[in-house]
Structure 1
């Protein structure tokens, strides 16, 4: 609570987006009927704006009647994470079965918080590969790194939420302020897709595989001692605090009240953008691979994306926050370039990146990548596209936060696109489980292509090899980069 109290009041104001909506038609019922009218097809809307992606999640959470299945790499205890927890609690209280899988690596919630939320009979929380945070001591964590380094580094990077088995959202966004443009210092330029129709069944099957896998452990089992001593009063106090936090009218800014009143209309308007076509969900199995190849081994998502790239005839346009080409990747790209395929990649600059370790791997490869013929664009922290994408109900500050790429997307020959969680690095290739969708609708592919190309424009990115973007970063960041380049970290970047 102390951490939350420090947040700016305009950020707290977004809580109304998770308050129950009144007198609304059921969007989920509409989507179910649309799915029946398009048998074997899938519907899709691209969610480029952070607040748009948040609104969609809020509305669908509030409308769900039977089930919500949630899978995230990061679920923070900041404002967005807290309000999302309250929204799920409200859903559970009206009879919705809520199942949540969160990767263990970056969990910052207290045991009492996790257990108090899971104490509701309709809420079930499981932790993926618990080797770092939940129920794990510092010594156990260190011992795990020593005895099984690969397993400690193997994370669930999936990001998806499924409502009533009818609609789903997947893409790059985790559940935290910075993924929805509500952090006052640093926000991510990201991309999600709203899905309905046949593709949702494949997503549900993937969720069920993870839910049933031994790597995914109920939180009560991990925190057995805390669970035994948890009092009903603690559960009641926490759940009451969640509701009070989300219902405090004093936190509502007038413009946010307006957003609340018009949310359903905004969603209904966006339904005019719904396209039906061929959409394939691709995902890794729990554990990624057998683990017999050490830090290598690939996975189902890796194989599917390599196959897509190998079929390129004219062009590849790619967006990835981290660019560390895994073994064999440069040969693949070089062969494609020799065949006449134009390859363009936009990634973070030293100034915008949130991950210096990953940037150090890219920095060591950059000259070789440019020499191969790949065009690389490095995203500016002050990209002008930020003001276009960060249109929201709460007024933007005069001094814009740093804006950095987190979207993971590619377009091949302007005919096929991928949107998902896969970073172009060894970690996504070999260690982390990943998900995403392959899209073959011409209009949606064109939309994604134009969006990525816009991010490459001079006002948004520097051209690597021509512009020395590194000098735009502060001295301390350049010193830290030099330090990280001393270490052979590439296999886990």
Structure 2
């Protein structure tokens, strides 16, 4: 064995040993929670603008929750900013991703201004997206009324030590908090699929997502706050100031930068939308449709999902029971769709039992994660042979900017929802894939309300319309065909539409690899 081969073997053995040790001692290596317990502040009737906006509606609908569907990206940004400005007591937010871009910094500024008015602010972020953002996070956290905590964080914040920790704790760090919630005064909550970033608010010049939130009032807000508190006080979460520190000079520079940015032309586009077009009254004084029901629940996986033995508490179990109650029709929207053999079999069996099953997901050209498309494509023919109706969102013309190994596209589906029998459904963060089922924590609204179900069904029909999507079928030889119904008769495409040879090759390789459990 030559010297190079010997060193390569030694390196491989070292990596294996580190991974095994990390698996055995993952809990011991994980940073310990050191934050004081914290809880949602109690509601005081009439105390804040949010209280006064929702109380008349709540009085008219006792023991019911109200829901407003929010599909427009600019409205979604403006609603968050407007409710932050109207807050008077507390603002709790938890997100998988909070980008350091213009929308992320503007909403960070709204948190700061709320704290300046006396509002208590708690921000809980998954640590996966925080690399390089410690200065910004600590700058916000430095405010006496703002506290920021990180979920399942890396002890080492940068450099080779962080890389080594990621390797040793790799299996543990693979579990992420995918929840999304914005809770104001413990009176109003926004949950759904959106993270914080330009692409989620129709603000990106390169790539945007079709996404969905639901704004909530009533008893479900208490449920959302209880979920937030459970995560906030979990042993998986620690304060950012226990992990890192920055100088006062860095803090002052960051605050000066976001204040200056708020006066730019780009920022004013969003701030003017907040000021002029999305007052709180529009949402909870009858200007938009509010769907009221006593049969709504905000549910989440437990914070330490990977250590919990009680599967009935997992969100996937609640969704499975609701989907299993389908009598006639189920419409599913999932950007990252990897059904696996079991769920594929259940969908096909439902069709055999006389039920109509429709699915919309991303096409290869629109998918921002090529590995996921590889996993999904493995089940496509079985679904179609079983009678499942399948639509794939097309990439929007003129916006595709190229793909990396993991993907990057001009327009992608990001909504995670389904509607059953025109009367019940789900809107949240849960993808129909193994990662949402077993690895990440997920959150969302389960509802039984015909008006909200109709609104969601209308969104499904919009997304699956010929303008936005291809219908996928099989030809007489059993091969895949994409129907482009923008023309009459529909054009018949026999390979992944709008995709490159590189994209198709990568997706094929990913399909072959034994990585489905990680998708």
Query: What TM-score, normalized by structure 2, do the two folds share?
Result: 0.80
1:298, distance to aligned residue in structure 2 (A): 8.3
1:415-457 deviations in whole A, cap 9, x for unaligned? Answer: 1011000000000001111111112111111110011022112
Partner of 1:479: 505
Q: Which residue in 1 is equivalent to 2:443?
A: 435
- Alpha-carbon distance change, 429 to 89 in structure 1, aligned in 2, over 3 angstroms: same
Shift, 1:142, TM fit? 4.5
Matched, 1:198 2:219: yes
> Counterparts of 1:302-313 in structure 2 under 5 Å?
302-313=316-327
Corresponding residue for residue 13 of structure 1? none
- 2:236 is aligned, of 215, 219, 238, to 215
Of the three residues 414, 421, 427, the one matched with 1:413 is: 421
1:297-376 to 2 correspondence within 5 Å?
Answer: 300-326=314-340, 328-376=342-390
Structure 1 residue 231 corresponds to structure 2 residue 247? yes
Unaligned runs of 5+ in 1: 1-24, 387-400
Corresponding residue number in structure 1 for 2:119: 96
**Residue 241, structure 1, aligned to residue 262, structure 2:** no
Q: Distance in 2 between matches of 1:298 and 1:134?
A: 35
In structure 2, the partner of 1:285 is 302
Match of 1:65 among 72, 88, 101: 88
1:272 shift after superposition: 3.6
Looking at structure 1, the residues matched to 269 and 261 of structure 2 have their Cα atoms a distance apart, in angstroms, of: 18
2: CA distance, partners of 1:359 / 1:141: 28
* Residues 374-413 of structure 1 mapped to structure 2, 5 A cutoff: 374-382=388-396, 402-413=410-421
Residue correspondences, number = 443
Give the root-mean-square deviation of aligned CA atoms: 2.6
Does 1:492 find its partner at 2:513? no
Which has more radius of gyration?
2
Q: Determine whether 1:164 maps to 2:185.
A: yes
Q: How does 1:144-159 map to 2 (within 5 A)?
A: 144-146=166-168, 149=171, 151-159=172-180
Q: Which has the bigger relative contact order, CA under 8 A and spacing at least 6? A: 1
Is the alpha carbon distance of 1:138 and 1:333 closer, same or farther for their aligned partners in structure 2, counting shifts above 3 Å?
farther
Deviates more, 1:475-484 or 1:256-265: 256-265
| TM-superposed deviation, 1:299 | 5.5
* Structure 1 SS opposite 2:93: strand
Distance change in 2, residues 1:253/1:170 (3 Å):
closer
**Residue 124 to residue 336, structure 1, CA distance change in 2 (3 Å):** same
Q: Which residue of 1 aligns with 2:471?
A: 463
2: CA distance between counterparts of 1:316 and 1:440? Answer: 14
Q: Extract unaligned runs of 5+ from structure 2.
A: 1-47, 400-408, 474-480, 483-493
Following the alignment from structure 1 to structure 2, what is the Cα–Cα distance between the partners of residues 377 and 299? 32
Partner Cα distance (1:49, 1:346) in 2: 19
Q: Could you say which residue in structure 1 is the equivalent of 2:100?
A: 77
TM-score, normalised relative to structure 1 = 0.84
How far, CA to CA, are the matches of 2:518 and 2:64 in structure 1?
A: 38
